[in-house]
Structures are given as C-alpha cells and as structure tokens.
Chain A
Amino acid sequence: MSKLIASAAIKGAHTLVKKAEDMLQKVIVEKGEDFAFEFPDTAFYLPMIYAMTTFPVKTLGDMRVALGMAKELLHEEPEEHLWKPYLGEALDSGMATLFAEEIILALKYINGLEPAKDTETGYVYNGFITDTIQRNLGIQLVDGTMPGFAVIIGAAPNDETAVNIVRKLQGKNILTFLSGHVNGNSVTKQLLRKGVELGWDTRIVPLGPDTEHALYAADWAIRASLIYGGKKPGDYKEHLKYQKDRVFAFAVVLGELDDIIWTTGAGAINMGFPAICDTDVPVIHPTGVCIYEEVEKELDHNKIVQKAIEVRGLKIIVEKPPIPVAYGPAFEGERIRKEDMFLEFGGTRTPSFEWVRMRGMEDIEDGKVVVVGNNWQERYEKGGEMPLGIVVDVAGRKMQKDFEPVIERKIHSNINEAQGVWHMGQRDINWMRISHNAKKEGFTLEHLGIINATMTHHRFRAIVDKVQVTIYTDGSDVLRLMEEARSVYKERDQRLGGLVDEAVDIFYSCLLCQSFAPSHVCVISPERLGLCGAYSWLDCKAAFEIDPTGGNQPIIKGELLDERYGRYTGIDEYLKKASGGAVETLNLYTIMENPMTSCGCFECIIAIIPEANGVMIVQRGHTEMTPVGMKFSTLAGSVGGGTQNPGFMGIGRNFIVSKKFLHGDGGIKRIVWMTKNLKESLKEAFEKRAEEEGVPDLLDKIADETVAEDSEKLLEFLTSVGHPALEMEPML
C-alpha cells in the first residue's frame, strides 16, 4: 500500500539529506565556503534548486543554504497505526531528495568523481547533461521524433531482457536514460556486454551507476520549462505543471526498490513522471498528481514499455517499413565502423547519387521497387563496395516541382533510421554503409527501395499519391543518370536563388515548438529559415499541403509597412492571434526593434556589442566565453521562451548568408565577431555575400575566439583591420 512507499520516500530523503550534509561539510573544510562551482555548460546553476526556489547556487556556502531548504521539506514517517496523512509529506520528501541529490552530484564533480567511470570496463558515463545537448535536441522534442523520455533505474533480470526493453524504447523513438544498479549489475553494463551502441546518437544515455544519477534526467527535464517554456525560476507551480503537461518522461524501475529509489521516485512524481516497476510493488492509482497512475507495476518485461507509455499518456505512431531490421529515429545516429561494415556506396569510393523526380500519375506504378543491374544479387552478396543510384519517382495531384528537394532531403532520414544502415550527405555526394548485422538479418538492396517508398508515402501522404523507387547498381547507369540529376540540381538551385521575400505573397508560420514554448511563433520567409535551421519556406509550404491544420500555417504577408525593417500587416495580424497576444508586432529584418522571438532551439544567437557598433554570432555548442561577456548558455537564457528581446535573437545558421540578414541594421557588415566554426562552415556562401556587399575581405575582418573573447581585445582588432561596422551609423 501507499504508506509503505511514503515511508520509504520520507526515510530515503532523510538519508540523502544527511549524506549531502556530511559530504558538503567535508568539502567545505577542504575548500572553504566561497569555493565556486557550476555544472558543465549550463546557465542554470543547480537547475532543480534554481527552478523551484530562484536560489542560484554558485558556491559551497550556497549549497549549505540550499540544503537548509531541503531540510525544511523533511517530515516524520507515518506511524504503523493511526497514521497522519502522508502523500503531501512524501512528495515534499521527494523534492528534498532531488535537492540533496543535486548537491551530492555537484560535490562529486568537485571531487573529480563525475562523470562516473566504471572501474571494470572503463566506461565513462554521461554525467550532467549540458545546455547545449538540451538545445541540440530541441526540434526533435517538438516535432514528434522524440516523443518521450524514459529513465531506467536498476538492472533487468538478464542481459537479453535489458536489450529487449531498450530496443522497444528505441523503436518508439524514446530517449532513454540509464542509472542505478542492482547489486552492481545495471542496464548500462548489460547493454555493454551485448555490444549495444550507447550514447546520444542511439538515444541510450547512461547517466551514472547509482540511483542518484537519475537526478541528471530531472535536471534535463526541468530545463525544458526554463528554456522552452519561459517559466521563471521560482514559479514552481508553473514549472511542475509544465513538466506534467509537456515533458513526457517516466521511470522504469527494474529490480527491487530501496528507500533511495522510492524517494527519487517521489521526486519524479512531483514532476508528474510516473514510475513503472517490474516487481510486485504497491501501486498508487488515483490520478491528479500525475496525469494517470503514479506508481504501476508490470511484471511482464515484454509489456513494460507499452505499459509505461500508456501510463504517461503518450501517443506514439511509428511507421515501420517492412524490412528485416529495426527502424526509427533512435537508430539514425548509429555509426557503422569499418570493421562492422558489410558494403558501402558513394563517399569517394563509388559513384552514387539520390534523386527525387516528379512524374505524371500514369507514368509510374505505386509501390513498385526495382533493382536494376547485372547480377546485382551476386555482387551484393560479395559485399565491399558498389555504385548506387536511388531514383524516387513521385506523383500526386497536389505534388509540385518545388517539393522535389523537400522530399529528397528526407532520403537521408529514411535510410538512416534503419538499424544497421548508415547514410550521410545528399544528392551526388551521399555515402552509405550496410552493416554485417543488417546483412545477416536479411537486408538487401530492395529494402533500400522499400524504405524510401514507404516513408515517402508516410511523410508526404497528402501530396504524394504514388511512389516508385528504382535502384541502379551498374556503374554506367549510375553515371548516366547522375549527369541528368546534376542538371536538375543546378536548375533547382537557380530557382531557389530567385526565391526572395518579395517574390511571394505568402510566408509561413512554424508553431511546432508551441508544444514546448506556448507563446513562440516562427515566421518563415523564403529568405529567412526557421531559427532551428530545420524548416525552410519550402519545407513549410510542403508541410502545409500535407497537413493543412498542422504546425505550419500560411501567413498572407499583406502590406509592407516598413521596407527596411521588414514589417508586414499580415504578419502582425497573424502573430497577435497565434502567440496568444504575447507578441503584437514583428520586424523580420532587424534585431533592434520588435525582433523575432525564440523558442529555445535556435542554432545561433546574435547579440549586439554596442561598443563595437555591431553584432556577434555564436552557435550552439560553443562553450567558451564571448565578447559580450556571456557564454552561449547564459545568452540563451535571455533569448528563449517566446519573448522579444531587442539586441538579442536566435537564428538558423544559414540565415547569416541571406540577403535579408539584419537588412535593416546594415546586413552582414554588422558582424564583428563570429566563431571560427561558423566562419569555416559558411565560408563559401559568406564570401559571395561579402562581395555583393562590396567588402570581399569581410570574413577576415571579423574577429573570432582565437582573436578576442572580450570586447576590449575585440575593439583593438576591429580598429587594426578597419572593420566597416566602426564607420556605420550607430546601432543604438
């Protein structure tokens, strides 16, 4: 019964708070109260404590204060008979536990014990999850490709079961965190023994060997409401409601539960995350704290994943093509090393390309997959390398030529999501590998066709009525068709080059992030892609055709009120509605006045540097200091959450080389600092733009982290190279 759980949760909290206190005392003796600490790459201090209390823990002394708050949440255990109520008290204890665990892990970092390392295998756990990773995954959190999060605590009864459970979670596209152990054994170790690839790319992330490490998952979750939800630190009610309503996390507890697991579970339940156990535990069914059950059991390991998904109220529709290997986004990040490789195509090894062609309805046969080539089966069986041409012919009453590249770009995901098949690049620079394992499971070249036929139908069901795939394997065919394809690629690029804001009447909104950032609206024009970098105007156009009531809606741009700043009547009208009144007006081409809002998953942040009369740009993943005196993580904290912040803006990488980039503020000439990474990756396009702007050597005049990480050095550099921004009209 529930009282047992409450007792354990309350007892566990006492244990952990005491443990934290003892550890803290020791470290303070060694290092002093003023010793500063921060988790790697986060702007949110100890995120759980910060989100719940507004208290930013920066030093060991602060930890003592925070621990005092945890102590206030401790209660007495309920008595055997004539007990007083315990649910509220147990939940308080759960929160005390999260606070204590956060402090314990912080102290372990200080002691050099985190991220934890397995002494037997040398495996290094993930440890604290950085803000960068959180933001990298942003778009997947909202577009349904990562619909939920599982935290597994403990170990399965055997290695096979562990693999089975994790594969099921992967098959549902769920991100899985691993923590805890049963007598030293853990799912992490079980998967390692079975050679399962672990890490962010395969969506299986071992956080650490102890139950306490599950706190890292809670810390990751709570930052979703800070970053995307725009919830203020201290608005604990709002945070917890956001967690319950929007962060679809749950715990799967494998093996016997102790007080520490129960009390950590009570912390999770506070956040609305239920626990599903594989042992005969007491259950808590009444709802209201969680959306459905708080604690549930499922003794059948084959059913536990499905049960967990239902208990959390998740709807996951997974389209799986009829192929002999597992399929889903969770396998997209899987690598195939040379020794695991059975066969490869493209790269620099063989000629290879992929091409989507629009055809007439009568020209193709739906679902037909043909592999063309002399003795292709025989050659395939030998492995090694082969030329490859993938031609996807599509037809549909609503199909447009403009959608060809949109559909074509999905070939990457289509193929990559198959377990044991790897793909990178696009067009005629693609590269693919098939693993020995996939081959062993019966994967053939026909399956490459089947995957593309099925998934193209699935992803573009409203615009594609027929799909036919032809796979070419003879070098001569491939080379011939590749030439044909190349001329089409070129044609497309030219057409795309002419696709400017002035040339269309309709822009698109992107509301995908409203599942996480309810007041944010992206306005996407031909010359300004979404800030996540994932949605261009064409993507939105196709998405709207596919789902007219979906996340991308047309905005009739209306009258141009301000050419320089890019203010349109249609956008303003639309925004008022779509942002729920949070945003009244928007200028597309400036950072200074009513700029675009951000959800939190921006690729880059632009920030004004007043003293340099220009702006700097830093991309997600750059963890060093920037000349505005803030790291990316801190900057991001002041940009996200759907509010307009003049002088600060989140953007997609490729917007930097758009003609409309800060058009109203002077364009790319305003860029005075940009990371080396950005400079290098955008080099070609940037130089072209610089030439158009009449400053061909602009890129060299822009500082980067190797030149300056503070504004003083930056100014020195700008003056020495004669950066044009210094001569431009004042930004402020």
Chain B
Amino acid sequence: MEKKIVKSANEAAEQIIEWGESHGIETCFDRAQRLKPCPIGAAGACCKTCHMGPCRFVGKNAEEEARGVCGATLPTVASRNLLRMAIAGSAAHTDHARDMAFILLAVANGETSDFRITDVRKLYKVAGILDIEFGNGMAVNDVARDVALRLIKDFGRQKGELNYIKRAPNKTQERWKKWGITPRGIDREITEAMHRTHMGVDHAPDNLLLSALRVSLADGWGGSMISTDITDILFGTPRPVKAEAGFGIFKEDEVNIVVHGHEPSLAEMIVDVVNEPEMIAYAKSKGAKGINLGGMCCTANEVLMRHGIPTAGGFTNQELAIMTGLIDAITVDVQCIMPALVELSRKFHTKVITTSYKAKIPGAVHIEYDEHRAKEIAREIVKFAIDNYPNRKAEGIHINQKFPVIAGFSHEYIEYMQGGRWRASFRPLNDAIMAGRIRGVVGLAGCDNPRVPSQGLHRFLAVELIKNDVLILSTGCGSHACGTAGYLIPEMALENAGPGLREVCEAIGVPPILHLGSCVDNSRILTIVSAMAAEGGLSDEIGGMPVVGIAPEWMSEKAISIGCYLAASGVPVIFGGESPVSASEEVTKIMTEVWFERFKGALHFEPDPEKILSLTLEYIDRAREALKLRKYEPGKFGAERVLLDMAARRELEKAAKPHIGIY
C-alpha cells in the first residue's frame, strides 16, 4: 500500500486537504505531488533569455563543457537565473514600498482624508534619520511631506546612495563600497540588473552575483525598510497584541472576510469599516450576527501586528481557508496570490475580489483600490461580502482549531521592552548573548511550501532552535507556521526554551519567538542587528554577529532578494529545498565561501532540516568564538564579574548612545 504522504504539518490544514481529496477538490498540495519540478530549470541549468534557446546545460562536466547557442556557460546561466529571481523579488518589495510612499505623500498633501499620520513619534524618528529639519512649529503633515518626498527620491535616484544606507554600521557600509554594491537608486538598480541579464551582456558569474546583492540591498535597505517605516507612520508602530491564529478563527454565524496579499492600506480601511455600526447593522439585516475579519499571508501579519486581527495562516493555507466554506469574500492585492483561488471559489460561495490594477485574475470580481477613495472602496467590498453571506452553502469543512498568539514586536518595542521608556536599549540582549544565556539569534522567515510537509520545517527548526537557547525573530509565513502551532506565546519559553533563553524570556515576559511582521518587515532584522552592533560588546558590524537567517520553505523570488540582502549585510543565510543554482559548483562556491569572505554573509541551500539546524548552530558558535565570547554551554552562563575600584571607574567610557524610544 502506498505510504501516506504528509502534505502539511499543520494538522488542521491536513484535515482540510484530506477532506478536499475526498470531495475531489484539488489544491496546491495535490498539484505539487503531481507536477514534479523540471530538473533542469530547478538546478539553474536552463537558459531562456533569448529565442535561440531555451538552452539546457546538462551532461557530464556540464560546468566546464556545456555551452548555450551563444556560448554561455553553466555558471553564467545559473548565476544569471539567480539574479533574475533577485530582481523580481526586489521589484516586488520596492514597488509595494513605492505605493506606501505615495500614500504618505497623499496624506501629507491632504489628498485623502481616509488616512492620517498615526505614529507621529515614528515620523519624527524617520525625519531625524533623513536629516530633515523640523522645529516645534512645523506641522506634522509638512514633516510627513518632506519624509515622503525624500524617500520617493530613492526610487528614481541615479547617483549617490539610498537614504537608509547610513543606518547600517560603518564597517558594513565599507564592505559594500569596497565591492561596489552600495545601491544608488532603487529603479536604477532594477533596470541595470535586468539589462545585465539580457542576452549577451554580463557573463561573469561573480559580477552577476554582485549585481544580485546590489539589487537586493536596494530592497532590504531601500524598499522593504521604507515600507516598514511608512506603514508604521501611517498605521502605528506595532507593540504587543494578543490575537488568534488558525482556521478556527472563522465564525459560522458572522460574515467572514479575509484580507490576503501584502499591501496593508486597503486592509487597514477594511479593519475600520467592519467596525462601523452601519456595516454591522447591514450584516445583521442579512442574517449574520456580525462581521468577522481574518487575515491571510502578509496582509494578515500587517493587521495582526497593529490591530490583533486574527490570522488564518500563511501562503499554503489560502486555498484551504476557502474550503471551510465559511469565507464570504476574500480580497487579494499583490504577491503570493494563487490564481487557483478563483476556480476553487466556484465550488463554494466565496467571492474572490482582486483590488490592484497590477494584479487581476480571470474570473475574479475586480474592485479596484484607489487610496484617494480608500474607505469608500473598503465599504463597497465589505458590503459585497455581506451581500454574499446569504449565499453561504453548507459545504466545506469547519475547523475549530485556533491558537493564541502574542505578536507586535517592532524594532522600537523590542528596544523598549528591554528597559522601558527611560532606558530602552539593546544592552540586555547583547549582555545575554555575551553571557551565553542566548546562544545566538535566528531570523526564521520566508514562505511555506507544499513541496515539503508545509510549515513543518519552520516548526521543527523553531522548536529545536529555542531548545538550543537561540532567540528567534520571525516574519512572514514563518510567523504563521509558528503561530498556527501555538508557538507564539510566552508559555512556549517556559516549556520549550533552553535554560538561558528561558531566563531572558521570563525576565522580559516575551515568547522565545518574536513576531516581527510581514516579509517586508525583514528590514526590522537589519535595524535590530545594526542596533546590536551599535550597542557594543558583540561585533561592530552586522557581519560576525552570532546571527543566522533561515528560510526553510522558501518558494518566492522575494525570498531570494531577502536572502541576498541579508547575506550582503553580513548574515549567513540558509534556505531549505534544493538549490536553484545546484547545477554550478562555481556559483555555489561564490554564494557561500566567496561571499562569506567579503561580507561575512552567505546564501546556502540545504534541503535537510537537521543539517540546516547543525549548520546554523555551527555558524553561531563560530561567530561566538571569533568574538571571544564565552563558549556556549546550556545552563551555564553568567557574566564575568568585573568589580570596579575607583581607578577603574575613572576610566569608564564617557559617551552614551543616542536613543529614540517607542513611547
């Protein structure tokens, strides 16, 4: 008999998948089983940039001997393919950021009354970073306009460098300068990189891969960081909220609306609108008890972080949510939207609403979003969902399972939680790492993927890492994987974390896995590690920190961009799954050894989760050793006490660090 294949490690998801199979409903899990990846393309050995091809680079000694029609080699093609992925990923994040910047400008100019500057403090912080002078008398909107215009310039800038480059530690910046990868303007980097990948332009693997780093840095220190900051300014910098995760968030007697995708502005409006008494009354008039909003994918993270809106989970849960039969409408915008939703929705009463002019799906209802009429459109959508409530059929599998989550860990709150309003800093975190209470920090991020037991790798690594006293910063669908497993709660530390991490979590009152937000919020990892470098006692740059990035179930091109900007910034990164450049040894070597030497970062691909774990711990321990930190031993920690006599006190360092807290 055929061995049962676990498709999702999320029990509830698995239940729905099985229900679907028994009802002849196909999902990405079934398609992933049926549709094996093309082995040539999967390994990076297929070139289809011109119409002389596609050419495949296979055979014995392909690395040395295989040639395309134009004469391109395998390393050229593999690196060029990777670069194309990085470009697309960077384009996705940065285009999202552009939309956010233009909303900020519209707010500042008074062109939309639906949005406002929610977090003035953050606005001032960003203005400070951008060297925008603002006095007491300056109107908030004027500051906001300056900030928006200054950030918008980053997109079209031709020379110089992005505004936020200077937020990186100096030594990190120097490495970028030395290797010529400091990004100039976002659009210029994307255009130039696309140009390089055109037939017959750049053929040097190392050069192509440096371009991948540069275009990705334009994402991390450009698009993503801009997006995080502006979203915080417009909708509030997150601080801890209690919420719920899982398919059990949907209510049988209420109108269920799901916001799915990435850009938060429409979702924010919907959050407002579902609480309007008129809307609730309207829902009641249609027989529902109320309106229940749930999130999906990174839009979920955005509204979870700021409003505690419950989440139905990450990428691979999107079809499954519809299969509960409880979703009256699902709005989608950009990125990671499965076109399968529309076809699937026809089997239920669910309406799929596309909202972006950039992203339409045949068969979906299209209600185009325009930030100038945001609330009006949000009302239209909610009303549409309510109108659909009476059409709800009994079909679908109802799931009760849901887990509590504590989310909302912005950079600012993480700083605050370590000392409060008056002495917020990263000192306690650095101290804990130095003392060996915390072995290291891992950014556990990226997609979930139906080609592995979905979410399972995230969950395995999360549990193992915290057991090993590694603090986890999670984002994107990684957070969903942990949240829907009940991992994002403080009790997780008491029951599952190693003894040192547990002490730290207990002292502060946090879960051992801190949910930082959506995938653009990986930028928060960059600023957090930069703050750790500035705080002192560890590495004085991002490179060399006992910090590793992991995307065990990545699938999107955005993940490649994130992996590249983390690597270029100095973070060793390990991706799960088979390598998209595995066909070329040279390319693999550049992305690991050569990058590590130049940037102290790397991008590995490792399908075996056990090996991901051991490689991660190895990187962390090597960094600890290089920093001459106390050797990590579970349960044994403590700072070497330096007792100060008067002479020692006179020598104390004089400068204190500048600081901007959250409150």
* Interface positions of A (Cβ within 8 A of B): 1-3, 6, 52, 73, 78, 81-92, 94-95, 142-144, 147, 236-238, 240-241, 245-246, 248, 270, 284-289, 292, 294, 310, 313-317, 511-512, 514-515, 518-519, 549-551, 580
Using CB atoms and an 8 Å cutoff, list the residues of chain B in contact with chain A: 240-242, 404, 406, 413, 416-425, 427-432, 435, 437, 489-491, 503-504, 506-510, 638-639, 641-650, 652, 654, 656-657, 659, 663
Sample 14 A-B pairs with CB under 8 A, ordered by A number: A52-B422, A83-B406, A85-B406, A87-B420, A88-B424, A88-B508, A91-B423, A144-B646, A270-B420, A270-B422, A286-B504, A314-B644, A515-B650, A515-B652
B507 and A2: CB pair below 8 A? yes
- Whether A2 lies near B506 (C-beta < 8 A) is yes
Which partner residue on chain A sits nearest B241 by CB separation?
A84
Residues of B within 8 A of A285 (CB): 503, 507, 638
Q: Would you call A286 and B428 a contact (CB within 8 A)?
A: yes
| Given A3-B506, A82-B406, A92-B421; A246-B429 close (CB under 8 Å) | no
CB neighbours (8 Å) of A289 from chain B are: 418-419, 423, 427-428
Inter-chain CA distance A607–B431, complex, in Å, is 47
User: For residue B641, which residues in chain A have a CB less than 8 angstroms away from its CB?
Assistant: 292, 310, 313
> Interface centre among B420, B431, B650, by most A CB within 10 Å?
B420
Residues of A within 8 A of B646 (CB): 142-144, 147, 512, 515, 551
From B422, B432, B489, B656, residue with most partner A Cβ within 10 Å: B422
Q: A90-B420, A91-B419, A288-B432 are in contact. List 15 more A-B contacts (CB 8 A).
A: A87-B419, A88-B416, A88-B417, A91-B420, A143-B646, A144-B645, A147-B645, A248-B644, A287-B431, A287-B435, A287-B639, A288-B427, A288-B429, A288-B431, A289-B428
- How many whole Å from B506's CB to the nearest CB in chain A? 5
Q: Which residues of B contact A551 (CB under 8 A)?
A: 646-647, 650
* Contacts A236-B422, A286-B437 given; does A3 touch B509 at CB 8 Å: yes
Contact indicator B639/A315 (Cβ below 8 Å):
no
Asked whether, in the complex, the Cβ of A287 is within 8 Å of the Cβ of B428, the reply is: yes
Residues of chain B within 8 A of A241, CB atoms compared: 423, 656
Q: Tell me the minimal C-beta distance from A512 to chain B in angstroms.
A: 8
Whether A82 touches B242, Cβ cut-off 8 Å, given contacts A87-B508, A237-B423, A292-B639, is yes
- Which among A92, A294, A511 has the highest number of chain B CB atoms within 10 Å? A92
Of B416, B506, B650, B657, most buried by chain A (CB within 10 Å of CB) is B650
Number of A-B contacts (CB under 8 A): 157
**What residues of chain B lie closer than 8 Å to A94, measured between beta carbons?**
420
The interface centre, meaning the residue of A81, A288, A292 with most chain B CB atoms within 10 A of its CB, is A288
Residues in chain A near residue B503, CB distance under 8 A: 285-286
- B431 contact set on A, CB distance < 8 A: 286-288
CB < 8 Å neighbour of A284 from B422, B507, B638: B507
CB-based contact A286/B643 at 8 Å: no
Residue among A86, A315, A519 making CB contact with B643, cutoff 8 Å: A315
Specify which chain A residues have a CB less than 8 angstroms from the CB of B663 in the assembled complex: 92
A88 close to B418 (CB less than 8 A): yes
Cα A152 to Cα B487 in complex, Å, equals 42
| Chain A residues whose C-beta falls within 8 Å of the C-beta of B491 in the assembled complex | 81-82
Tell me, rounded to whole Å, the shortest Cβ–Cβ distance linking A644 to chain B.
18
Which residue of chain B is the closest to A237 with respect to CB atoms?
B659
Q: How far is the CA of A147 from the CA of B645 in the complex (A)?
A: 8
Quick one: closest A residue to B427, CB to CB? Answer: A288
Contact B430 A288 (CB under 8 A): yes
CB distance from A145 to the nearest CB of B (A): 9
Give the residues in chain B near A85, CB-CB below 8 Å.
240, 406, 413, 417, 490, 508-510
Return chain A residues, CB-CB under 8 Å to B643: 310, 313-315
Complex formed: what's the CA distance from A720 to B424 in Å?
61
Beta-carbon nearest neighbor of A84 in chain B: B240
Query: Are B404 and A82 neighbours in the complex by a CB distance under 8 Å?
Result: yes
Cβ–Cβ contact A286 & B507, under 8 A: yes
Q: A248 CA to B648 CA in the complex, in Å?
A: 13
The answer to whether B420 touches A88, judged by C-beta atoms less than 8 angstroms apart, is: yes
How many Å lie between the Cα of A89 and that of B489 in the bound state? 18
Chain A residues positioned under 8 Å from B423 (CB to CB): 91, 236-237, 240-241, 270, 289
Min CB distance B438 to A, Å, is 9
B555 to chain A, nearest CB (A): 32
A243 (CB) vs chain B CBs: closest residue: B423
Residues in B with CB closer than 8 Å to A313 are 641-644
* Contact (Cβ within 8 A) B654 A89: no
- Complex CA gap A95/B417 in Å reads 15
Contact B418 A288 (CB under 8 A): yes
Chain B positions within 8 Å of A270 at CB level: 420, 422-423
Give the chain A neighbours of B638 by CB distance below 8 A.
285
Most chain B CB neighbours (cut-off 10 Å) among A87, A248, A315? A87
Q: How far is the CA of A86 from the CA of B506 in the complex (A)?
A: 9
Complex: how many Å from CA A396 to CA B404? 76
CA distance A288 to B427 in the complex (A): 5
Whether the pair B509, A246 counts as a contact (CB closer than 8 A) is no
Which of B240, B425, B509, B663 has most chain A Cβ within 10 Å?
B509
Tell which of B413, B509, B656 touches A83, judged by Cβ atoms closer than 8 Å: B509
Q: Name B406's closest neighbour in chain A (CB-CB).
A: A84
A90 CA to B416 CA in the complex, in Å?
11
What are the 4 closest A-B residue pairs judged by CB atoms, nearest first?
Answer: A288-B428, A91-B420, A315-B643, A515-B649
Residues of B within 8 A of A83 (CB): 406, 490, 509
State whether B240 touches A92 (Cβ < 8 A).
no
Across-interface contacts of A6 in B (CB, < 8 A):
509
In contact, A91 and B650 (Cβ under 8 angstroms): no
Give A95 to B422 CA distance when docked, in angstroms. Answer: 8
Inside 8 A of B416's CB, which chain A residues have their CB? Answer: 88
Q: Is the CB of A84 within 8 A of B509?
A: yes
With both beta carbons as reference points, the residue of chain B lying nearest to A144 in the complex is identified as: B646
Residue of B nearest to A295 (CB): B507
In the bound complex, CA of A316 to CA of B645 (Å): 7
Contact (A78, B509) CB under 8 Å given A84-B242, A90-B420, A91-B420: yes
Q: Are A88 and B490 in contact (CB under 8 A)?
A: no
Distance in Å: Cβ of A286 to nearest Cβ of chain B:
5
Q: Which of chain B's residues have a CB closer than 8 A to the CB of A511?
A: 650
Residue of B430, B507, B657 near A87 (CB, 8 A) is B507
Alpha-carbon gap, A241 to B503, bound state (A): 24
Q: Say yes or no: B420 contacts A89, CB within 8 Å.
A: yes
Distance A469 CA – B406 CA, assembled complex (angstroms) = 73
Q: Do the beta carbons of B422 and A237 come within 8 Å of each other? A: yes
Distance (whole angstroms) from the CB of A18 to the closest CB of chain B: 20
Measured CB to CB, the nearest residue on chain B to A310 is: B641
**Chain B neighbourhood of A3, CB < 8 A:** 506, 509
Q: How far is the CB of B241 from chain A (nearest CB, A)?
A: 8
A142 / chain B contacts, CB cutoff of 8 Å: 646
In the bound complex, CA of A2 to CA of B507 (Å): 5
List B contacts of A52 (CB < 8 A).
Answer: 422
List the A side residues contacting B427 at CB < 8 Å.
Answer: 288-289
Kindly list chain B residues whose C-beta atoms are within 8 Å of the C-beta of A2.
506-509
Task: Point out the residues of chain A lying under 8 angstroms from B648, CB to CB.
Answer: 315
What's the Cα separation between A51 and B596 when bound, in Å? 47
Bound Cα distance from A95 to B508, whole angstroms: 17
Residues of B within 8 A of A287 (CB): 428, 431-432, 435, 639
Cα(A292)–Cα(B437), bound, Å: 13
A94 to B420, CA, bound (A): 10
Give the distance in Å from the alpha carbon of A94 to the alpha carbon of B491 in the complex: 25
Q: Tell me, in angstroms, the Cα distance from A514 to B650 when the chains sit together.
A: 5
Please, which residues of chain B bring their CB within 8 A of the CB of A248? 644
- Tell me, rounded to whole Å, the shortest Cβ–Cβ distance linking A516 to chain B: 8
Residue of B nearest to A75 (CB): B420
Complex Cα distance A518/B427, Å?
A: 22
Q: How many Å lie between the Cα of A590 and that of B509 in the bound state?
A: 58
Among residues of A, the one whose C-beta sits closest to the C-beta of B430 is: A288
Distance A270 CA – B647 CA, assembled complex (angstroms): 25
| CB of A582, distance to nearest CB on chain B (Å) | 10
Contact indicator B650/A87 (Cβ below 8 Å): no
Closest to A52 in B: B422
Q: Which residues of A contact B504 (CB under 8 A)?
A: 286
Given contacts A143-B646, A237-B659, A86 and B508 within 8 Å (CB-CB):
yes
